[in-house]
């Protein structure tokens, strides 16, 4: 809005004009939102498929939830890469979540959802109960798939399902790494996942400081590094790792949220 007003000043729009212009702008935005909602509901009618909640496990802190889902029509043809499904979390509102623990025979999986913040996705996931329907409009590939050699994963709790899916695809191949976790969830993380991927205490939005600290004692030579979750953290982490003398073979960032 500040920029628009600066432009108005430059082209000499009076305050009255601005008020009229602003009203017109709001009406246009309102119409655009209606058009967007209609387009989304057309897409949903054409491509929408549904699943059903089988079980819900909320973590003690209430900041994280595991949701077992039956998706009878889910097409996982790209299941050599980690997948993500676009899920309806409100009227005209969609968020991406990662199917982990995919079972091709039963067409079931688990969604691991961070609910520590306020947002439509977070509210939706926290409200789910056994038997609830879930609508999604498609499944697509992410950039991440298992690579030969030593794999290291880094991210925040929104990336937990993503890395569990990567581990499933990597089968017996070992993956190590660190996930930045809120202090109240650390014990539950360690007792739930007996894994080479460890919880480190999250001290900032995406856990940059603790993830960087964790990498300090690790030899990155000949490793493939995967980063997922908070976008600014992923970008910064990649920059820092690229500066190291023992540079990894690759650093692959998959941004989730900002
Ligand atoms: C390919 C892909 C796969 C994904 N898979 C998962 C998954 O398996 N599990 C999962 O939890 N998320 C996953 N996400 C992220 C998810 O789609 C949403 O972006 C996220 O859950 C936030 O949605 P929201 O509506 O709750 O909050 P938004 O409306 O997007 O944001 C509201 C506020 O909360 C903040 N915020 C958003 N997410 C977080 C967070 N995780 N921690 C702290 N603050 C946050 C935002 O900065 C903003 O201020 C994935 C995203 C992508 C692109």
Pocket test for ligand 1, best of 59, 95, 203 (most atoms within 8 A of CB): 95
Residue 208 C-beta-side C-alpha neighbours within 13 Å: 14
- Phi-psi category of residue 22: left, alpha or beta, with phi > 0 → left and psi -120 to 50 → alpha: alpha
**Closest ligand 1 atom, residue 113 Cα:** 11
Pocket test for ligand 1, best of 117, 128, 233 (most atoms within 8 A of CB): 117
Residue in the structure block whose two tokens are 């305050």: 15
**Model pLDDT for residues 148-176, shown as the tens digit of each residue:** 999 999 999 999 999 999 999 999 999 99
Taken in order 45, 46, 52, 56, the sign of the CA dihedral is: negative
Whether residue 231 sits in one domain with residue 136: no
- Looking at every residue in the chain, the average pLDDT score rounds to 90
**Model pLDDT for residues 199-257, shown as the tens digit of each residue:** 999 999 999 999 999 999 999 999 999 999 999 999 999 999 999 999 999 999 999 99
Whether residue 162 sits in one domain with residue 77: no
- Cβ burial of 67 (10 Å; 0-12, 13-18, 19+) is buried
Whether residue 172 sits in one domain with residue 121: no
Count of domains observed in the chain? 2
pLDDT at 37: 73
Per-residue CA distances from 78 to 101, 112, 143, 172, 224 (Å)? 15, 20, 11, 20, 21
Whether residue 244 sits in one domain with residue 174: yes
The verdict on residue 99 lying in a domain is yes
**Closest ligand 1 atom, residue 162 Cα:** 8
Residues with CB under 6 A from ligand 1: 84, 95-98, 112-114, 116-117, 119-122, 142, 158, 161-162, 256-258
Q: Is the pLDDT of residue 6 over 80?
A: no
Q: Is the pLDDT of residue 128 over 50?
A: yes
Most confidently modeled range among 1-15, 17-31, 36-50, 192-206: 192-206
Residue nearest to ligand 1 atom 6, measured at CA: 97
pLDDT at 22: 65
């Amino acid at each position: 809005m500040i920029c628009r007003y600066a432009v108005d000043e430059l082209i000499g729009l009076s305050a009255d004009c601005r008020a009229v212009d602003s009203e017109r702008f709001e009406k246009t935005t309102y119409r655009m939102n209606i058009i967007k909602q209609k387009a989304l509901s057309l897409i949903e009618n054409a491509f929408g498929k549904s699943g059903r909640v089988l079980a819900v496990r909320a973590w003690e802190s209430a900041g994280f939830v595991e949701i077992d889902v039956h998706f009878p029509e889910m097409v996982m043809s790209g299941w050599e890469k980690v997948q993500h499904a676009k899920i309806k979390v409100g009227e005209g509102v969609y968020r991406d979540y990662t199917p982990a623990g995919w079972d091709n025979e039963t067409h079931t999986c688990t969604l691991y959802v961070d609910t520590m913040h306020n947002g439509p996705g977070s509210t939706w996931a926290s409200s789910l109960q056994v038997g609830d329907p879930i609508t999604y409009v498609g499944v697509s590939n992410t950039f991440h798939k298992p690579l030969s050699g030593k794999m290291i994963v880094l991210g925040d709790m929104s990336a937990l399902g993503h890395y569990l899916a990567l581990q499933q695809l990597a089968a017996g191949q070992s993956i190590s790494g660190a996930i930045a976790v809120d202090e109240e969830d650390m014990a539950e993380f360690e007792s739930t996942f007996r894994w080479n991927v460890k919880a480190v205490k999250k001290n900032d939005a995406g856990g940059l400081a603790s993830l960087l600290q964790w990498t300090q004692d690790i030899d990155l030579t000949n490793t493939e590094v995967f980063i997922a979750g908070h976008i600014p953290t992923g970008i910064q982490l990649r920059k820092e790792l690229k500066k190291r003398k023992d540079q990894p073979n690759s650093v692959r960032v998959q941004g989730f949220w900002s």
